[in-house]
Structure 1
Amino acid sequence: MKKYLLPIVLILVLSKGNAQELNLPTFTQYLADNPFIIAPTYAGIGDNVKIRANGFTQWVGIKDAPENQSLAADMRIHDQSGVGIYLYNDKNGNTRQSGAKLSFAHHLTLNKYADQFLSFGISYNLNQFRIDIDNFNGTDSGVTDDRRLTNHNFDVGVLYRVNNYYVNFAVANVLNKELDIFSGIEPLELRNYQVYTGYRWKNINSSDWELEPSMYFQYFESDQRSTTDLNLKLRFYNFEDYYWAGVSYRFLNDQFMEPLNIGPMAGLKKKNFYFAYSYQVTMNELFSYNSGTHMVTVGLDIFQGISNCPCTY
């Protein structure tokens, strides 16, 4: 039986890897006041160089469960443009991904009196995907070398803002992937389509707090699956510092009442320091075998520089 077990496991790993490759897992990292990691259009919005380091461990309690570490930074250049970089390392079973995204965004003012803005963004993606053979028996699995490939791709997006409402549309991995050593197992269509929208409702009687409902929709062209996050955040302000708490609910769009993940999150910004924590319960067959997904974000907002254009406020 052992003779056939490793090849079966390898097939399962590769099959799981096709959904993972170039479609990095997105949980609630973007809700840690860092939507730049899901859309290049947010690069340069704000008065600081924004740096965010994020780490999460999925399905805690299960051996070799997925892990991800990332570092994102973006900043404004001139008055109406921004640049950013996103570095990541992802582990999922015996598959590994690492790479970078380099982003540029340009922001336009449609109506400065109505706070109406339009932003365009593009990212160049460099991704390396490989199979880690350290746990393989070469005789049983037939894999005797550390197989890897490198892909180049692009993300594009457009962001519309008016007053406290925002909606962002993005296409990730615009180009099809070329045939490679995993051909026949992986899809060539890596595109996924994303919509992120929300509204920041401010208390008209007090500026001390605001409520922000938001939605994040993803559609994957390769297998026609789609997911939606429904989020709710409450912020409390103390001058330039603030504290927030919220909850996120993710589901497949044909299974609204059967959530994939659900859980609370909280964070704070104190002077230049940022910290956030998110916990999610996985609501599927793995529920009984793990203690959920834990995510931590730490960051700095440094080198403040006020823009002359409200489109980057």
Structure 2
Amino acid sequence: MKKNILFSLFILYGCGLAAQQYPLFTNYVLNDFGFNPAIAGSADYFEARMTYRTQWVGIDQAPETQIFSFQGPLKKIPLGVGGYLYNDVAGQIKRTGFSGALCYAFDPSDKIHIGIGASGGMYNIRLNENYIAKDMDDPTLFGAAEKNWTPDLAIGAYMRMSNGLFAGISAPQLLRKKFDFKDDQNAETTDYVPHFYGMFGYTLPINEAITLEPSALLKYVSDAPIQVDFSARAIFNQRFWAGVSYRSEDALSLMLGADVTRSINVAYAYDATLSNLREGSKGSHEISVGFRFGGKKDSDGDGIPDKEDECPDKPGTEENKGCPDETDEEPLADADKDGVLNKDDKCPKVPGLKTNAGCPLGDRDNDGIRDDLDQCPDIAGLAEHHGCPLSDADGDGIVDSKDKCPNEPGPLSKEGCPLLDSDGDGIADENDKCPETPGKDGEGCPLVTPEERAILDLAIRNLYFDTDSDVIKPDSYIYLDRLADLLVSKPSWKIRMTGHTDSRGDEAYNLDLSKRRVESAMFYLMNRGVRRDQMITEYYGERLPVASNASERTRKYNRRVEMKFVWD
């Protein structure tokens, strides 16, 4: 008895009870929610689907599977929901279960949809209630007759792109479970292990009437060979389809389907067995019926919702706003509905006038003059010049009659004349702080590096004179020498030198002292090779203090020679 039961199961499903866990449907593209919870909410409508599959017809006690599923989006929040009920019979063993699914669905862009989902439920495995054994005391039956419910869990991810590519991965039956049929002398154990699926495909429009959809499904279970399904179906007028499928070392299949209405579709698949069971089998049959609810109404099935479709009862293209292409071979066709038949219409897709051969009276250059009256239809002009522009020889946008420099481009602010750039540094004189000296610091002046500025600052801070004298102290020489070397290397650079004193002594004397000190510094630099015209000297005596003269502590800041780079 025990051997008969187990032998039947092994023969019928190829690898024991474990293979019974997740039957693989030939129309897996339609039943993808059954093994991947991330499918929930991937379309803009709810779908309920019933599928019946009978396998290896002609073999006694061959497997039969029924599944009912429903899934769809919650449009106000980015979630998809669904669930399914299933019943699977193989020999005298039944498996019944249910699951509910939740999917987080989102669109990172208008070109891609992504779903991440999980499902959970319960199932039990038991003997067929109608089974009567010859020996009801067979200890094998004790474990098989139990109806304990077992938890189930699945996870998955799904992606669909606007270019037609779709792909998914999933792992149903993650909670591993062992079922025992045994007594003290005999033991048989069936291990329910996780399954791993990978699915990918591509929707490829060939023309307005035909779309191809190749796809593949990979299934991996531990200690079993990888199973691969290759399928391809052709969809005609977005309503009927036919296809073929090959399951590795198992079956070659024919698939047919149709949308009976916008809300109802049916599908059928026949598997010709290729395995060792082909001698006793007449093949496998699978039928599926789907019901759609909600979503945008699309009466002609052209993918354009009726609200946006100017021909809701005729399938068409987006370019024609949902209307079909009307060709010149149709003698009474008028694609743009302007009253001019296509055969006489020079602009068959743009409404126009009969007097203009079906074309609109356009104004391509938007100058307010119709193209049929415009002698320069692609260049904006004036009516008094028959639509042509006034002459602008230098192309600066100012017509020659208003341009003071008609052969040299210039801005309107200069009445068409170019801006002056005396030093040729690319910065107009009116914006150039150094119009006679080329520079690149953004304001037209030479760029002074931090090292060069430090040379000048050190020369200022370390310029010392003997008391009440214009004699420079030797400690200052090294700093003045560095400044001289810099000015010799930059012949276009200049410095402004200004002398100052504190308020002690006579004002006239202080003015003369500040003059002598400035000239003393100037002559020192000249002796080191600096040209006289590179130095501008000024002296102010006690008139421009930078600190109070009330105490010696602050008076010392007023006894100074200031130096600054200048260029013009």
TM-score by length of 1: 0.83
Give 2:72's aligned residue: 75
**CA, structure 1 residues 180+244, in 2 after alignment: closer, same or farther (shift >3 Å)?**
closer
1:71-93 per-residue CA deviation (whole Å, 9 max, x = no partner) reads: 11112113421111111111100
1:111-137 per-residue CA deviation (whole Å, 9 max, x = no partner) reads: 22xx12221010103111112372322
Residues 33-182 of structure 1: pairs in structure 2 closer than 5 A: 33-79=30-76, 80-112=78-110, 115-132=111-128, 134-138=131-135, 141-143=138-140, 145=142, 146-162=145-161, 163-177=163-177, 180-182=179-181
**CA, structure 1 residues 14+295, in 2 after alignment: closer, same or farther (shift >3 Å)?**
closer
Q: Which amino acid counterpart does residue 243 of structure 2 have in structure 1?
A: G
Verify the 8 A CA contact 2:200 2:216 in the aligned structure 1. yes
Q: Which amino acid counterpart does residue 106 of structure 1 have in structure 2?
A: Y
Where 1:148 maps in the other structure, the secondary structure is: coil
Where 1:194 maps in the other structure, the secondary structure is: strand
Work out whether 1:8 is the aligned partner of 2:3: yes
Percent identical residues: 25
Residues 197-236 of structure 1: pairs in structure 2 closer than 5 A: 197-203=200-206, 206-221=207-222, 223-236=223-236
Q: 1:192 aligns with which of 188, 191, 195?
A: 195
Verify the 8 A CA contact 2:25 2:31 in the aligned structure 1. no
Instruction: From the two aligned structures, give the one with the greater helix fraction.
Output: 2
Verify the 8 A CA contact 1:29 1:54 in the aligned structure 2. no
**CA, structure 1 residues 189+271, in 2 after alignment: closer, same or farther (shift >3 Å)?**
closer
Residues 232-271 of structure 1: pairs in structure 2 closer than 5 A: 232-238=232-238, 242-251=239-248, 259-269=249-259, 270-271=261-262
CA distance in 2, matches of 1:200, 1:43: 19
CA distance in 2, matches of 1:50, 1:249: 27
Q: Which amino acid counterpart does residue 291 of structure 1 have in structure 2?
A: K
The CA deviation at 1:181 is 4.0
1:200-228 per-residue CA deviation (whole Å, 9 max, x = no partner) reads: 1112xx3322111101000002x233200
**CA, structure 1 residues 180+246, in 2 after alignment: closer, same or farther (shift >3 Å)?**
closer
Give 2:24's aligned residue: 26
The CA deviation at 1:140 is 6.9
CA distance in 2, matches of 1:290, 1:101: 32
Verify the 8 A CA contact 1:51 1:300 in the aligned structure 2. yes
Where 1:61 maps in the other structure, the secondary structure is: coil
The CA deviation at 1:180 is 5.0
The CA deviation at 1:264 is 0.4
Verify the 8 A CA contact 2:180 2:190 in the aligned structure 1. no
The CA deviation at 1:60 is 0.9
CA distance in 1, matches of 2:51, 2:74: 24
CA distance in 2, matches of 1:138, 1:202: 61
Verify the 8 A CA contact 1:99 1:126 in the aligned structure 2. yes
CA distance in 2, matches of 1:102, 1:46: 18
Work out whether 1:275 is the aligned partner of 2:266: yes
**CA, structure 1 residues 144+122, in 2 after alignment: closer, same or farther (shift >3 Å)?**
closer
Relative contact order (alpha carbons < 8 A, sep ≥ 6): 1 or 2 greater? 1
What is the number of equivalent residue pairs in this alignment? 284
CA distance in 1, matches of 2:195, 2:164: 27
Where 1:45 maps in the other structure, the secondary structure is: coil
CA distance in 1, matches of 2:279, 2:191: 35
Verify the 8 A CA contact 1:13 1:95 in the aligned structure 2. no
Q: Which amino acid counterpart does residue 170 of structure 1 have in structure 2?
A: S
Which piece of structure 1 moves more, 138-147 or 161-170?
138-147
CA distance in 2, matches of 1:302, 1:117: 21
Verify the 8 A CA contact 1:263 1:281 in the aligned structure 2. yes
The CA deviation at 1:300 is 1.1
Structure 1: 5+ residue runs without aligned partners? Answer: 1-5, 252-258, 307-312
Structure of larger gyration radius: 2
CA distance in 2, matches of 1:153, 1:109: 29
Q: Which amino acid counterpart does residue 268 of structure 1 have in structure 2?
A: A
The CA deviation at 1:38 is 2.1
The CA deviation at 1:161 is 2.5
**CA, structure 1 residues 224+58, in 2 after alignment: closer, same or farther (shift >3 Å)?**
closer
Q: Which amino acid counterpart does residue 155 of structure 2 have in structure 1?
A: V
Verify the 8 A CA contact 2:158 2:167 in the aligned structure 1. yes
User: Once superposed, what is the RMSD of the aligned Cα atoms?
Assistant: 2.3
Give 2:284's aligned residue: 293
Verify the 8 A CA contact 1:41 1:105 in the aligned structure 2. yes
**CA, structure 1 residues 262+135, in 2 after alignment: closer, same or farther (shift >3 Å)?**
farther
The CA deviation at 1:57 is 0.8
Verify the 8 A CA contact 1:274 1:300 in the aligned structure 2. yes
Verify the 8 A CA contact 1:103 1:121 in the aligned structure 2. yes
Verify the 8 A CA contact 2:46 2:73 in the aligned structure 1. yes
Where 2:7 maps in the other structure, the secondary structure is: helix
Give 1:254's aligned residue: none
The CA deviation at 1:143 is 4.3
Where 1:304 maps in the other structure, the secondary structure is: coil
Give 2:470's aligned residue: none
Verify the 8 A CA contact 1:130 1:148 in the aligned structure 2. yes
Where 2:199 maps in the other structure, the secondary structure is: strand
**CA, structure 1 residues 89+108, in 2 after alignment: closer, same or farther (shift >3 Å)?**
same
CA distance in 2, matches of 1:139, 1:272: 50
CA distance in 2, matches of 1:262, 1:228: 12
Structure 2: 5+ residue runs without aligned partners? Answer: 298-304, 306-568
Instruction: From the two aligned structures, give the one with the greater strand fraction.
Output: 1
